């Protein structure tokens, strides 16, 4: 089963590689991993998307907790939560008709065109991974040059919060 | 240079290093100098509270620190230079990680300005050691040095212990600042378990008392957690059978009648059969290692399991347990004893009687029997004689292989911290440097190193260290001219194709010992074994290298072959 694990850890050099190294050393799956400092600059927040049986995910959370740089974590999957991912997509749109159609698709998916040249659009789109997949499918008839996906971020709904 | 460099109270990073070690009560550091740690060596030279032992190879330094830590209640400390100094230390660090040995290893590093430049003797020590340390640090500012050392000792020695590496660039040891050693430390990201989480105690006691065929299985955690006395009280109170893992030997007195011997691949028949047939398993400070469980699908098929461990990630890692108790072994055992005293129920005497009858029947197999009439020296006999002649009181280190198993099977340990070996990583070459560390921790004790002619050659250079510090270690070399355990597997599972398992061109160990300034003896008749050991023990001031020429074809029995269950042992 797919799990989204959010982790608060010390914002120190090496902390990221401890987490990444743990996953490779113990053979755990890692679908995506995002990390950035939080409002408290001494803290980083990481979102890891992984999959495995309940036993494996239990081990993953225990092993993460055991890392000295990890302060706290939350398995989002155990709570109602929101997940979002952003993609930046560069599409070649040389023909006027293509420009029309790509613009229309972008609007339908509530994306935005954030860079325009004679030949290209850069489209920004956010949502759950499945929505991004659907959009990429929709624009696939056009020459997609580049796709950048941020990886998943997650936050719990309501009162549940991952904080110190 | 820091701005406080000229103020009267500022001292250099190298001096801070020494003062911090003094504050931690470190009495000995095992190490080897080099370019990046020259400032530190100069500072060590100019003080007299922390002594330094010069090894002959950095691997020896870390193993010696391990031996010191495993045989005492203090962490081991090693100091090596950057680059090759650090890489040579890796095996020892990984060994300590696998066996949860509290160590602090200091590595020199090239100056901060050169880090990342592929400088002379530069390696990414923090990167290389990351997967085999409990934690590691790179100190980039002299102002952080004292606090980092405090953290290193705190992390290494609390919770489930382990090795911590502190990488110190050369310029940090030259820079100065005010020295203040923190009295205590709090790390928001590190909260080891102290005491025990006792919420599950009642549930555990109910299960323990409901058992008809109980079994107690304990590991190295009992020794690390100083739980030996409490374990003995707990076990005697219940009257249940008990087995120890390889790492747990000495956690319960081996001479006690409730003790069934070691379990696992080369454990006793009775211990493994009792595990297999148990209905309640009480696992304490043990981690269900594959050498213990055999085929995990077939492991303890009938048992409900209580598991006490300080490390939550050890619980239900390999085997799903029914009552997990996270906590330090000693306080949890005390809580269990208290709850047992308060409980109305008692163990079922009729069921226990029948269980012990069954166990005595398994014991009657005499699974550790060997040919006592042989004209060749049987390795088991050497260990047994050493045990008798030292009255089971020696500290015993071993290397890795057949001799390690024979030492574990035939030297009866009645006390914790007496049996020092490499269980998790299985590192050949540890025996001699382990023994050095033990001898430094216990200068007046008898320290025996049970080894083989292959293992001993992996750190043979430390004979020189032993001479420099006049360490009167007794080396028992069970010399069968083979990589014995490899040969055994080749005999059993590769139709006797002995690929690379024969040790050709062996040195004359007697002359070798003498060349290093020690006493060497070669023994090739069973009748001379006892006399030789006696003579070696009588040489109280000297290292004696006893080269026993043993039966080449002897195998370690009994054995659970790979993939088999605990009830599927090969007997002699």
Please answer yes or no on whether B312 and A9 come within 8 Å at the CB atom: no
pLDDT of residue B533: 98
- Cα–Cα distance between B81 and B173 in angstroms, integer? 13
**Active site positions of B, annotated:** 58, 120-121, 170, 485
pLDDT at B357 exceeding the cut of 80: yes
Q: Tell me, yes or no, if B184 comes closer than 8 A to chain A by beta carbon.
A: no
- Cα–Cα distance between B161 and B66 in angstroms, integer? 12
- Cα–Cα distance between B406 and B387 in angstroms, integer? 12
- Cα–Cα distance between B469 and B160 in angstroms, integer? 32
Q: Taking the alpha carbons of B22, B25, B27, B29 in that order, is the dihedral positive or negative?
A: negative
pLDDT at B192 exceeding the cut of 50: yes
Q: Which residues pair with B279 in a beta bridge?
A: none
The number of CA neighbours under 13 Å toward the Cβ of B18 is 20
* Residue from A20, A68, A14 nearest B115 by CA: A14
pLDDT of residue A101: 96
Percent of the residues in chain B that have a pLDDT greater than 90, as a whole number? 96
- ipTM beyond cut 0.85: yes
pLDDT at B292 exceeding the cut of 80: yes
Among the partner residues A17, A63, A66, nearest to B130 by beta-carbon distance = A17
Residues of A within 8 A of B320 (CB-CB) are 55
Question: Mean per-residue pLDDT for B498-510?
Answer: 94
* pTM of the complete model: 0.95
3-state class of A43 per DSSP? strand
Six-digit token pair at B109?
């590093």
Q: Residues in chain B, how many?
A: 572
Q: Which of residues 290-319 of B touch A (CB under 8 A)?
A: 311-313, 316-317
In tens, the pLDDT along B360-377 reads 999 999 999 999 999 999
Please answer yes or no on whether B312 and A65 come within 8 Å at the CB atom: yes
pLDDT at B4 exceeding the cut of 70: no
In tens, the pLDDT along B559-571 reads 999 899 999 999 9
Phi, psi of B222 (to 5 degrees): -65, -40
- Tokens 């290893």 correspond to B105
* Residue from B25, B275, B269 nearest B150 by CA: B25
**CB atoms closer than 10 angstroms to residue A140:** 10
- Tokens 């919420």 correspond to B199
Q: Which of residues 64-123 of A touch B (CB under 8 A)?
A: 65-66, 68-71
- Cα–Cα distance between B145 and B12 in angstroms, integer? 10
Q: Which of residues 11-30 of A touch B (CB under 8 A)?
A: 14, 17-18, 21, 25
| Residues B408 and B485: beta-carbon distance below 8 Å | no
Please answer yes or no on whether A66 and B316 come within 8 Å at the CB atom: no
| Residues A9 and A19: beta-carbon distance below 8 Å | yes
Q: Apex CA B452: angle with CA B451 and CA B457, to 5°?
A: 95
Res. B2 pLDDT band, cuts 50 70 90: very low
pLDDT of residue B45: 98
Please answer yes or no on whether A69 and B189 come within 8 Å at the CB atom: yes
Phi, psi of A87 (to 5 degrees): -130, 145
Mean pLDDT of chain B: 96
In tens, the pLDDT along B410-421 reads 999 999 999 999
pLDDT of residue B321: 95
- Tokens 């020494």 correspond to B18
Q: How close A22 gets to chain B, by Cα (Å)? A: 8
* Residue from A152, A96, A82, A91 nearest A124 by CA: A91
The number of CA neighbours under 13 Å toward the Cβ of B389 is 20
């Amino acid at each position: 089963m797919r799990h989204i694990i959010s982790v608060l850890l010390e914002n120190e050099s090496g902390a990221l590689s401890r987490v990444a190294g743990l996953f490779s050393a113990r053979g755990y799956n890692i679908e995506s991993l995002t990390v950035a400092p939080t409002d408290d600059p001494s803290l980083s927040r990481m979102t890891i998307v992984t999959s495995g049986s309940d036993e494996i995910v239990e081990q993953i959370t225990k092993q993460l907790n055991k890392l000295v740089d990890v302060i706290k974590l939350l398995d989002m999957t155990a709570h109602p939560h929101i997940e979002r991912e952003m993609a930046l997509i560069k599409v070649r749109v040389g023909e006027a008709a293509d420009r029309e159609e790509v613009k229309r698709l972008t609007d339908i998916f509530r994306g935005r065109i954030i860079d325009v040249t004679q030949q290209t659009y850069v489209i920004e789109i956010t949502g759950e991974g499945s929505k991004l997949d659907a959009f990429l499918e929709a624009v696939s008839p056009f020459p997609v040059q580049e796709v950048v996906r941020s990886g998943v971020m997650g936050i719990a709904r309501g009162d549940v919060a991952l904080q110190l | 240079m820091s701005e406080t460099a000229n103020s009267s109270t500022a001292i250099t990073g190298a001096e801070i290093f020494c003062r911090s070690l003094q504050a931690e009560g470190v009495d000995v550091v095992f190490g080897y100098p080099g370019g990046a740690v020259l400032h530190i060596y100069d500072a060590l030279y100019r003080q007299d509270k922390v002594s330094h032992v010069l090894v002959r190879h950095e691997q020896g330094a870390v193993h010696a620190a391990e031996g010191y830590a495993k045989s005492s209640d203090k962490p081991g400390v090693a100091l090596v230079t950057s680059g090759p100094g650090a890489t040579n230390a890796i095996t020892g660090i990984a060994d300590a990680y696998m066996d949860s040995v509290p160590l602090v290893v200091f590595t020199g590093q090239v100056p901060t300005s050169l880090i990342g430049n592929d400088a002379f003797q530069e390696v990414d020590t923090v990167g290389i050691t990351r997967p085999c340390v409990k934690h590691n640090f790179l100190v980039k500012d002299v102002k952080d040095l004292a606090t980092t050392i405090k953290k290193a000792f705190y992390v290494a020695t609390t919770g489930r212990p382990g090795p911590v590496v502190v990488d110190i660039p050369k310029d940090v040891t030259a820079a100065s600042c005010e020295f203040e050693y923190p009295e205590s430390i709090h790390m928001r990201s590190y909260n080891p378990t102290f005491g025990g989480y006792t919420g599950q105690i009642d549930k555990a006691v109910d299960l323990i008392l409901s058992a008809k065929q109980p079994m107690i299985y304990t590991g190295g955690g009992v020794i690390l957690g100083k739980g030996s006395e409490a374990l003995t009280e707990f076990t005697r109170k219940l009257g249940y059978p008990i087995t120890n893992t390889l790492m747990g030997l000495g956690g319960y007195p081996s001479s006690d009648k409730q003790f069934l011997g070691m379990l696992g691949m080369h454990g006793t028949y009775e211990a493994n059969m009792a595990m297999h047939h148990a209905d309640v398993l009480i696992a304490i400070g043990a981690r269900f290692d594959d050498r213990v469980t055999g085929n995990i699908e077939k492991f303890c098929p009938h048992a409900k399991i209580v598991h006490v461990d300080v490390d939550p990630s050890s619980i239900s890692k390999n085997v799903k347990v029914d009552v997990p108790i996270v906590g330090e072994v000693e306080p949890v055992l005390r809580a269990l004893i208290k709850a047992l005293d308060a409980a109305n129920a008692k163990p079922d005497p009729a069921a226990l009687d029948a269980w012990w009858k069954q166990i005595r029947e398994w014991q009657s197999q005499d699974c550790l029997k060997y040919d006592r009439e042989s004209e060749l020296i049987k390795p088991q006999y050497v260990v047994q004689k050493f045990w008798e002649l030292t009255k089971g009181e020696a500290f015993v280190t071993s290397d890795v292989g057949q001799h390690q198993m024979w030492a574990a099977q035939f030297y009866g340990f009645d006390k914790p911290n007496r049996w020092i070996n490499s269980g998790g990583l299985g590192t050949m070459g540890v025996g001699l440097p382990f023994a050095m560390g033990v001898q430094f921790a216990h200068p007046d004790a008898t320290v025996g190193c049970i080894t083989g002619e292959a293992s001993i050659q992996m750190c043979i250079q430390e004979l020189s260290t032993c001479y420099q510090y006049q360490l009167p270690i007794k080396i028992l070399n069970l010399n069968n001219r083979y990589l014995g355990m490899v040969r055994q597997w080749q005999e059993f599972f590769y139709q006797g194709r002995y690929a690379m398992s024969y040790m050709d061109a062996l040195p004359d160990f007697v002359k070798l010992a003498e060349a290093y300034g020690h006493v060497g003896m070669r023994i090739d008749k069973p009748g001379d074994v006892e006399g030789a050991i006696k003579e070696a023990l009588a040489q109280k001031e000297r290292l004696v290298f006893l080269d026993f020429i043993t039966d080449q074809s002897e195998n370690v029995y009994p054995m659970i072959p790979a993939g088999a269950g605990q009830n599927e042992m090969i007997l002699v």
